[in-house]
Structure 1
Amino acid sequence: MKKSLLYCAVALFSFSAAAVTPQPFLNTQVQFNQSQQQADILVLLVPENTTDLAITKWSSASRAHINRAMQVAEFTGKSGSKLEVVAPVGLDVGRVVLLGVGNPAELSRAKAEELGATLGVHVNSTSAKRVQVNSQLISDTALNTHISTALAHGMELRNYRFDRFKSKPDARPVQQYTLQVTDVKASQAQYQQLHALAQGVFTARELTNLPGSSGYPEAFANYAKQVLEPLGVKVTILGPEQIKALGMGSLYGVSQGSDKKSHLLIAHWQGADGQPVALVGKGNTFDSGGYNLKTSSSSIIRMHTDKAGAAAVVGAVQALAGQKAAVNVVAVAPLSTNIISRDAQLPGDVVTAGDGSTIEIGSTDAEGRLILADGIWYAREHLKARAIVDVATLTGAKVGALGTVYSAVFTENATLEQTLREAGEKVQERVWPLPLDGYDGIIKSRIADRINTGSPGAQAGAIFLQHFAADTPWAHVDMAGDAFNSSAKGIHPEGSNGYGVRLLTEWVKLYQQQSN
């Protein structure tokens, strides 16, 4: 009996710690054409103040019915407004949905994506399998393409599901979306760019959602490799012994108490010549806090999301490779797991980072900056990056300062700040600058070159990391609180939202343009 119980326990542990592999994310399909197709739902994109729907090939009875419904419902086409007409007269569809787009010239990409998410949620509440989206009331060809493709992108982003651990998952949305557009070729090309971006977001969501026992450092790195290499990305994975040999004691020390030791993932998309820009993402795959143990059950249960920064940089490189972007970019993901054991790092210990400087461990729960320090140093020293942006779920102090509407950005480089803010506005992953100057001595250590704690907390983390970038143009994005949705909202389902992928993807291309 004892032997049988022991076997079951071992088998259970082996299952929970098994490595995961990539899987398809969507069952929906999107296509573009210029003609009306058979559909269960017909969606009309309606500009504001439209009073007469003059739709090609509609009978006068159909037109009169829909126009009358608009008048009764006082539907004006205001952005985000929606009106559904069931069993429309003279039309071979079950439902007509009028979706207001406001003034098409003023409809931002982010707002159009929100409309797509709204549409996706509505369609999923029906049994419809075929959805036709008619955009002919948007007469400007460029705006027609812009709005239609962004709408499809938003629908896809909302339809993601993380269900790999459910024995009987709910059925995923299965629809064929056909978008009737003015310029099919341009729409297809723009959609392919956004679809590649969506795939990067999905990868980031998946990696962040993985529980600690499934998304540990080696498993994370191998998952990323399987996704990235088929796209032409060069992937290098350094194991714990290589990390030790390179002197990266700051990264190694965080995982020394775990049997899942630290790894370093390097993923290089060379779509252009010259020095690369580096994206360094915090990849703490589970954070117990170490001996500075997290004591809130509501907090610790989400600590598998502490790898969201690493997931974001992997997703951004995947997106750029999928887009065949003409950029030279490398993702660096220092990966660790912060566990208590007899071998774990202790408060008061001193470690030596890759650059040879020493760090006093003021708190084992300030581990993110420890692993990022060696990641930033590696990008500077071994990859010769011309600019470095690191991204991390780093400090609760950032949430106290900015909440979750903005991430905090710390930099002394005006070009980096300006381009990050511009990229963030475009995709609504917004950043707001916080200062670095005026905080002399906040990470001073009595026994080492610096300590990994200080107050105010967000500045202490940023100033700590700034040292390891040295003279390389550098920015730190503290995205604490931004990477997880407790409930579905807009383009994001419940759970990990892939925050940072869209910001960094846009930023890399923007920085490439402005720094050439």
Structure 2
Amino acid sequence: MTMKKNLVALMLSTALMGGYALSSEAQAQALFSDYVKTQHKFEHKHMDDVDVLVLLASESADGTIELPQMWDEQARSIIQQALKLEDFTGKQGQQVELLALPNFYAKRLWVVGIGDDLQRADAEKLGAGLASQLDEKTGSVVVHAKGLSDAQIAAAAHGMDLRNYRFDKYKSEPAERPDYTVHWHGNNGDAAAEAYQATQPLAHGVFVARDIINLPGSDGYPQAIAELAQTAVSNYDVKATVYTPEQVQELGMGSLYGVSAGSQHKSHLLVVEYQGGGDEAPIALVGKGNTFDTGGYNLKTSGSSIVRMQTDKAGAAATLGAVMALAGKDAAINVAAVLPLSHNLISGSATLPGDVLVAADGTRIEVVNTDAEGRLILADGIWYARDRLKARAIADIATLTGSKVGALGTDYAAVFSEHDELLAAMKTAGDETGELVWQLPLGPYDGIIDSWLADVQNVGSPGAQAGARFLQHFAKDTPWIHIDMAGNAYSTSAKGIHPAGGNGYGVRLLAEWVENYNAAAE
């Protein structure tokens, strides 16, 4: 086998190791065996010679921080003096470190402020922040977390897991991964353990999404991604269907097929369906899966732009991860991920600017710009969700436009919809997960995708709205929301719950949104 084939085989093996049934601590730990080595324990028992002891302190108006009574009196006095000197009040984000305290059972003490209203996303960032300060030499960590609820403790542990992910399969000598055990001393160990266990499917969905995003274009072509995804969900109670390029053509998906016309790796369609809600129509998640984007004949000429174009499949990765998360927790919902997968390259057979493609619903599309390919593959994906799955609601997600980055930067994703209930559920999901969204208008922008040559054209101005209006055409009367996550999918450096690289943005947002929307509709 070639080196590339070996690396793809390794990725498939990794995904296979992720399958699990949520039934025991041992199985849950096996889930992360190829992603993180750290472990979490939730029973409260005293330990000696701890490497790092973390005291989580609630905010105090008068600056008085309560310390455990069992600690040595001299050590307590030194700690209180140090906190006073640092003006430590327990405000969220504050931290004081003390070393080599007398008559103390830990080598290092971190006193960390948690404020007075620690939300889920804040708790996850707290855990991620602790993880960022620990290293491969750390052996044991004890966290005094009496001030946290069981759900907050689970969220903090979840945040540590998300930060500790590494994508190092292309390194000849990967750095050692952190291999410590965190002992959480809260109020109810069993309840915290159960709450943490419930985060495992979500974390696994994020990890698989990150793997997919990070896989380079020459290894992560449409067929390889479809096979990786199939393997990743093999132990979940889902149905995974792959449509080959020939079947994509038979379905009439000329818009999807046309984007890969210039590549040796033709377009595929992957559909992953989870049925936990009886016979009701599913909620469909449609994700842009352009596995590498050269721009086609409208070639990306900036090296900094083209070098990260494997991230153009982040939308597809998010939909897959979200369905995995929901299936893994046995959610009482029917949900499907529709992943149109393409490879936008240049050759003698590539789609040319000015060509007309025929989408599955019969729409004739003038391709004014071959670098506006994401909406072309999403068009047929949305058609499949509407026509074949009979979806009761559709959310599409894509790294779609530079215009979105210009409008909102990377702290927010843009959302477009005319359905208030979808928007409300999405905003709540963004606030809960920290993957924030901001609504941009769909109109009035009449005529921005009109074509003199065909039915519609694939570009217009303003750019983000043109992309949204184009996709809305294919959703027709099905309740629909569009998420433009351009700029959100890749972290240039580690920050918060994200390591450097593909960050799995959208997995947590979509999984939360599906449950929010489903609950509101009942």
Task: Tell me which interval the TM-score lies in, with the shorter structure as reference length.
Answer: over 0.9
- Would the alpha carbon gap of residues 171 and 19 (structure 1) be closer, same or farther in structure 2, given more than 3 Å must change? closer
Query: 1:186 Cα shift?
Result: 2.1
> Which residue of 411, 414, 419 maps to 1:408?
414
Query: 1:11 Cα shift?
Result: 4.5
Q: Equivalents in 1 of 2:4, 2:126: separation in Å?
A: 44
Find out whether 1:337 has 2:343 as its counterpart. yes
Query: 1:505 Cα shift?
Result: 0.9
Match in the other structure for 1:85: 98
Summarize the alignment of residues 52-67 of structure 1 with structure 2, pairs less than 5 Å apart. Answer: 52-67=65-80
Summarize the alignment of residues 403-442 of structure 1 with structure 2, pairs less than 5 Å apart. Answer: 403-442=409-448
Match in the other structure for 2:44: 34
Match in the other structure for 2:493: 487
Summarize the alignment of residues 257-272 of structure 1 with structure 2, pairs less than 5 Å apart. Answer: 257-272=262-277
Q: Residue 283 of structure 2 contacts residue 394 of structure 2 at CA under 8 Å; is this kept in 1? A: yes
TM normalised by structure 2 equals: 0.93
Query: 1:58 Cα shift?
Result: 2.2
Q: Deviations over 1:429-465 (max 9, x none)?
A: 1111111121111111112111111111111111111
Match in the other structure for 1:224: 229
Output the amino acid matched with 2:423.
E
Q: Which moved more, 1:377-386 or 1:485-494?
A: 485-494
Match in the other structure for 2:512: 506
Q: Residue 281 of structure 2 contacts residue 390 of structure 2 at CA under 8 Å; is this kept in 1? A: yes
Q: Equivalents in 1 of 2:313, 2:76: separation in Å?
A: 53
Q: Equivalents in 2 of 1:122, 1:75: separation in Å?
A: 19
Output the amino acid matched with 1:21.
L
Find out whether 1:102 has 2:107 as its counterpart. no
Q: Equivalents in 2 of 1:36, 1:11: separation in Å?
A: 52
**Partner SS, residue 294 of structure 1:** coil
Query: 1:64 Cα shift?
Result: 2.4
> Which residue of 481, 485, 508 maps to 1:475?
481
Output the amino acid matched with 1:172.
R
> Which residue of 436, 446, 468 maps to 2:452?
446
**Partner SS, residue 41 of structure 2:** strand
Match in the other structure for 1:3: none
- Would the alpha carbon gap of residues 257 and 170 (structure 1) be closer, same or farther in structure 2, given more than 3 Å must change? same
Query: 1:22 Cα shift?
Result: 4.7
Q: Percent identity, please.
A: 53
> Which residue of 153, 168, 176 maps to 1:148?
153
Unaligned runs of 5+ in 2: 15-33
Find out whether 1:112 has 2:103 as its counterpart. no
Output the amino acid matched with 1:87.
A
> Which residue of 278, 281, 284 maps to 2:287?
281
Q: Residue 57 of structure 2 contacts residue 65 of structure 2 at CA under 8 Å; is this kept in 1? A: no
**Partner SS, residue 229 of structure 1:** coil
Q: Equivalents in 2 of 1:396, 1:51: separation in Å?
A: 49
- Would the alpha carbon gap of residues 74 and 13 (structure 1) be closer, same or farther in structure 2, given more than 3 Å must change? closer
- Would the alpha carbon gap of residues 289 and 19 (structure 1) be closer, same or farther in structure 2, given more than 3 Å must change? farther
Q: Residue 138 of structure 2 contacts residue 178 of structure 2 at CA under 8 Å; is this kept in 1? A: no
Q: Residue 19 of structure 1 contacts residue 215 of structure 1 at CA under 8 Å; is this kept in 2? A: no
Output the amino acid matched with 1:375.
G
- Would the alpha carbon gap of residues 12 and 501 (structure 1) be closer, same or farther in structure 2, given more than 3 Å must change? closer
Match in the other structure for 1:192: 197
Summarize the alignment of residues 280-429 of structure 1 with structure 2, pairs less than 5 Å apart. Answer: 280-429=286-435
Query: 1:135 Cα shift?
Result: 1.2
**Partner SS, residue 423 of structure 1:** helix
> Which residue of 502, 510, 514 maps to 1:496?
502
**Partner SS, residue 12 of structure 2:** coil
Q: Deviations over 1:399-437 (max 9, x none)?
A: 111111111111000000111011001111111111112
Number of equivalences: 499
Query: 1:127 Cα shift?
Result: 2.6
Q: Which moved more, 1:235-244 or 1:188-197?
A: 188-197
Q: Residue 44 of structure 1 contacts residue 98 of structure 1 at CA under 8 Å; is this kept in 2? A: yes
**Partner SS, residue 236 of structure 1:** strand
Q: How large is the RMSD of aligned CA atoms in angstroms?
A: 1.6
Output the amino acid matched with 2:12.
T
Query: 1:223 Cα shift?
Result: 0.7
Q: Which moved more, 1:238-247 or 1:31-40?
A: 31-40
Match in the other structure for 2:12: 21
Query: 1:287 Cα shift?
Result: 0.3
Match in the other structure for 1:69: 82
Q: Deviations over 1:62-113 (max 9, x none)?
A: 322322332233322111111111122222221111111111xx11111121
Output the amino acid matched with 2:224.
A
Q: Equivalents in 1 of 2:307, 2:505: separation in Å?
A: 19
Query: 1:354 Cα shift?
Result: 0.7
Q: Equivalents in 2 of 1:107, 1:362: separation in Å?
A: 49
Find out whether 1:128 has 2:119 as its counterpart. no
Query: 1:302 Cα shift?
Result: 0.7
- Would the alpha carbon gap of residues 505 and 11 (structure 1) be closer, same or farther in structure 2, given more than 3 Å must change? closer
Q: Equivalents in 1 of 2:91, 2:8: separation in Å?
A: 50
Q: Residue 288 of structure 2 contacts residue 316 of structure 2 at CA under 8 Å; is this kept in 1? A: yes
Query: 1:15 Cα shift?
Result: 5.7
Q: Equivalents in 2 of 1:88, 1:271: separation in Å?
A: 54
Output the amino acid matched with 2:188.
D
Output the amino acid matched with 1:110.
A
- Would the alpha carbon gap of residues 236 and 293 (structure 1) be closer, same or farther in structure 2, given more than 3 Å must change? same
Q: Residue 340 of structure 2 contacts residue 378 of structure 2 at CA under 8 Å; is this kept in 1? A: yes
Summarize the alignment of residues 167-182 of structure 1 with structure 2, pairs less than 5 Å apart. Answer: 167-182=172-187
- Would the alpha carbon gap of residues 18 and 63 (structure 1) be closer, same or farther in structure 2, given more than 3 Å must change? closer
TM normalised by structure 1 equals: 0.94
Q: Which moved more, 1:45-54 or 1:241-250?
A: 45-54
Q: Residue 65 of structure 2 contacts residue 90 of structure 2 at CA under 8 Å; is this kept in 1? A: no
Q: Which moved more, 1:359-368 or 1:73-82?
A: 73-82
Q: Deviations over 1:122-168 (max 9, x none)?
A: 122x73211111112x1xxxx42132122111111111111010010
Query: 1:18 Cα shift?
Result: 6.2
**Partner SS, residue 481 of structure 1:** coil
Q: Residue 53 of structure 1 contacts residue 63 of structure 1 at CA under 8 Å; is this kept in 2? A: no
Query: 1:234 Cα shift?
Result: 1.1
Q: Residue 16 of structure 1 contacts residue 213 of structure 1 at CA under 8 Å; is this kept in 2? A: no
Q: Residue 18 of structure 1 contacts residue 214 of structure 1 at CA under 8 Å; is this kept in 2? A: no
Query: 1:197 Cα shift?
Result: 1.2
Match in the other structure for 1:6: none
Match in the other structure for 1:4: none
Q: Residue 207 of structure 1 contacts residue 220 of structure 1 at CA under 8 Å; is this kept in 2? A: yes
Output the amino acid matched with 2:11.
V
Q: Residue 209 of structure 1 contacts residue 305 of structure 1 at CA under 8 Å; is this kept in 2? A: yes
> Which residue of 247, 256, 260 maps to 1:255?
260
- Would the alpha carbon gap of residues 414 and 67 (structure 1) be closer, same or farther in structure 2, given more than 3 Å must change? same
Q: Residue 86 of structure 1 contacts residue 95 of structure 1 at CA under 8 Å; is this kept in 2? A: yes
Query: 1:14 Cα shift?
Result: 5.4
